[in-house]
Structure 1
Amino acid sequence: MAPSFPTPPKERTLSIDALHGFGLLGVFLLDMPMFVRPVWGEFFPLLHPSETGSSAVVRILLTTFVHTKFFTIFALLFGTSLALLFERAENTDTDAELAYFRRMTALFLIGIAVGVFAWYTNVLLILAVCGALAVPTARWEAPRVLRGSWRILAIGAALGAFAIAGGAVTGGASEMFVTRVAYLAGHEHAVFSVWNFQELTAYRGALFLTLIPPTFLLFGGKILGCVMLGVWLQKTRSFQHSEQSQAFWKRILVWGGALGLPSQFLAAMLAHFYPVSPLSAGAQWLLLYFGGLALAGAYIAIICLLAANDRWTRLLSPAAAMGRMGLSNYCLGITLASLIAYPYGLGYFGKLSTASSAAVAIPLWIVCLGCSYFWLLWFRFGPLEWLVRGFAYGRLPKMSVNSS
């Protein structure tokens, strides 16, 4: 199987790369507060005393503008890359299915390593599984892909709403459940506040495994459906700079913003000010599910419309460079965040508010942005992208930009 060489920068799609780069900012903004606080309290904010002041405002803003939107974007981009790989393999001797399955296997293994040694709520595992499941859709016609994606999204929404409203995940607001969550949060705080690498890693690995089933139950349908939507976007050439695609993204911007913003604000109000009940939990879930998809579409539309304007090309280029090595930057950001939070680093676990921890995400993103720019002056791939590509094609490609 012939190795696939990187697309020359001038032939890359700026909007796709830039979306990967800006998507990482959203991931860091959402994950950083969870790094420095017990995950059980983050998953169930109404079960601990309400935050006030700047932290309450930041949490509402994160729920409205960030929560669920950016993993949705990454799932869509996964589908786009899947369709692109199959298109580029048509005139070569590359076995597209085998290459993509190998890529997803490598991502799956990286997701396990990240989950055990750095961050137990990473979505690499579920992205890899859903990416592999979506492979047959790369051979389908665009209308069939679109119909299938909405069916999967509807099934995912129904399963998630049933689980949430029925108490399979939230467990209700019973006194026993509140006590159990408080105990788990306290135990997590004790483990992550003391330097004991073996105990810390064992606990993190166990928590990672514990969270896999509910993660797949709640988000598997949405991620798979969004991967399929990404395949459809590529098949319909929505990322090309044509009048048709520009008109499409303008409609997505208007409707996505009009439906997404109010629904996400309402979801934030339900999450942080309304007592937990099956009705409120189910309503919040559906608002975040479909409203989050609409707002994510509006975000994508903004980048695509800006990328079509020559005046914005240079401003988007740094984020595009970051996006070209998105996996490496994700793992770099996760590693730096763990060093900030855990006792083998700065040990800020339990010491930062939501507002201050979210603020840390911005310089974290800027560091990754700068590293990407300088790295790509010398190398054609990010380090993890290089390894994944080598695993996928059976041979490590040349790394230096000066390699022939």
Structure 2
Amino acid sequence: MAGGGARISTLDAVRGFAVMGILLMNIVDFAMPGFAYYNPSYYGGDEGANFAAWAVNYVLFDGKMRGLFTMMFGASTVLIAERALRAGESPTRVTFARMWWLLVFGMIHVWLIWYGDILVLYSLCGMIAVVAWRWPPRRLFAVGAALLCLKLALGIAAYMSFAALERAAAEPGASAETLSEWAVMQEKLELPSVQSQLDGYRGSYGDALRARIPLAVYILTEAHLAAVPDTLALIAIGMGLFKCGFFSGGWSARSYRRVAFWSFLVCVPLHLPLIAINVEANYHPIMLHRTEAIHLSLLRTPMTMGYAALVILFMQRFHESGLGQRLVAAGRMAFSNYLGTSILCTLIFNGYGLGLYGYLERWQCYFVVIAVWAVILLWSKPWLDRFHFGPLEWLWRSLARARLQPFAKKKEDTCPQSANV
């Protein structure tokens, strides 16, 4: 690929691939009681095609698509800071304005639409990460690696603490204090009942809102807190890779092929013992906590880069194809497509929409994924042929800049712009 427009299109295409890929995992949370995301025996089927669907997604997609989206968030942070500096604006002020409004959008999303939000986490981490946008790639990679090590250490420490308390509580003559601590821990690990979620999400909007509250509280507190180290790590790595020209297609095709080949060759087989461990432990929450820390800290980043390399290789050869252009458009409208996916899927599954919640087996959910992908690819490009930004991108940009931005295109407006998500 040559030329600045083509190179920035590669950045957008990777983002488009990521925002579509996230649905491969999120669809389970949309379609059935949430813990089925981790435990196939919890709901949705754990044999045959259903187990295969869980295992394939665990190996190939769990955490990887969100990881890619997070890296792109880091790349966009640098890109927008550089543009602000060239325009004579304060990169910190511009970033904080964008992150504040992203926080507002995230709160609306998590409380009123769907609890599995990542925008709140991104907004808070973005406010921290802005201090690093000028750092050289080597420092960014070092900080990213250190934060991933921290994530792994915290995960292993939590697992050892859980396991030690469980063993102590199971011993004959365990003290009342130990039994009390274990009871508190079990209460923390306890999930909303399957029936309460079925009743809630199959009911009215008010029923769904009430069912969403405990999970939204968990997401905004414990889950987001646990995800801060690896989110900041991936943002930093994304910044470094952008500065190195990786995401903009600046490397040779041979280099991208090597990244893709070795990342999948090494990391895919290493997921298999993690699957075996979880199956043997009957998907116990404590074991899931331990294995999640391992694959998110050690295996996710290389595979995330491998996916990015595959998309970039595709764009280097087919950036002018219909699919290439539609993938670029999906990435330029990633914010609208992310929130639009939540709205569309909740309308498909919740009782105030089509009411399919809990009625599909796990493998059947992926027909819905294909349909939503088709919608994203079909609507994004025609929209951007007529407007400068996606609808939510325009609103976000207008709010962050405290003035309405140009929206509808004039006939002479033909130069593409990269998305700011």
Fold-level match, TM-score > 0.5?
A: yes
The answer for the alignment partner of 1:126 in structure 2 is: 121
* Post-superposition offset of 1:285: 3.1
2:149 touches 2:297 (CA, 8 Å); kept in 1?
Answer: no
Q: What is the CA deviation profile of residues 133-179 of structure 1, one whole-angstrom value per residue up to 9, with x for unaligned ones?
A: 110111222221121111112112222333345339xx999998599
Structure 1: runs of 5 or more not aligned: 1-7
C-alpha displacement at 1:68, in angstroms? 0.3
Superposed CA offset, 1:165-196 (max 9, x none): 5339xx9999985998476222222222222x
Contact 2:17 2:327 in 1 (8 A): yes
> Which of 48, 57, 65 is equivalent to 1:62?
57
8 Å Cα contact 1:30/1:358 also seen in 2: no
Whether the 8 Å contact between 1:340 and 1:346 is mirrored in structure 2 is yes
For 1:356, the equivalent position in structure 2 comes to 364
Partner of 2:239: 231
Shift in CA distance, 289/151, structure 1 to aligned 2, threshold 3 Å: closer
Q: Deviations over 1:342-396 (max 9, x none)?
A: 1100111111111111221111111121111211111010011001111222222
What CA distance in whole angstroms lies between the structure 1 residues aligned with 2:396 and 2:322?
29
Match of 2:47 in 1: 52
Cα separation, partners in 2 of 1:162 and 1:345, compared to 1, 3 Å: same
Tell me which residue corresponds to 1:252.
259
Tell whether 2:21 aligns with 1:26. Answer: yes
The question of whether the paired residues in 2 share the 8 Å contact of 1:380 and 1:401 is answered with yes
Residue identity over aligned pairs, in percent, reads: 24
C-alpha distance in 2, partners of 1:218/1:179?
15
In 1, Cα distance between equivalents of 2:354 and 2:45: 27
Match of 1:323 in 2: 331
Distance 1:42 1:138 in 2: 34
241 and 192 in structure 1: CA distance in 2 versus 1, 3 angstrom threshold? closer
Partner SS for 1:90: helix
Matches within 5 A, 1:179-328: 181=190, 184-195=193-204, 197-242=205-250, 244-276=251-283, 281-310=289-318, 313-328=321-336
Query: In the alignment, is the contact (CA less than 8 A) between 2:24 and 2:369 conserved in 1?
Result: yes
Q: Give distance in 1, aligned partners of 2:249 and 2:216.
A: 41
Identify the residue that residue 387 of structure 1 maps to in structure 2.
395
**Which structure: larger Rg?**
2
CA contact (8 A) 1:89 1:96 kept: yes
CA–CA distance in structure 1, aligned partners of residues 8 and 67 of structure 2: 19
User: Amino acid of the residue matched to residue 223 of structure 1?
Assistant: T
Q: Secondary structure at the match of 1:51?
A: coil
TM-score by length of 2: 0.85
Deviation track 1:1-58 (CA, whole Å, cap 9, x = no partner) reads xxxxxxx993661221111211122211211122121113434445569611211111
What letter matches 1:396 in structure 2?
L
Match of 1:96 in 2: 91
2:418 paired residue number: none
Residue aligning to 2:177: none
State the Cα deviation string for residues 191-230 of structure 1 (Å, max 9, x = none).
22222x2232133133211222222243221111000011
The CA distance in 1 between the partners of 2:321 and 2:147, in whole Å, is 35
Tell me how far 1:273 sits from its aligned partner. 4.8
Is 2:161 the counterpart of 1:153?
Answer: no
Q: CA deviation at 1:246?
A: 4.1
> Which amino acid is 1:18 matched to?
A
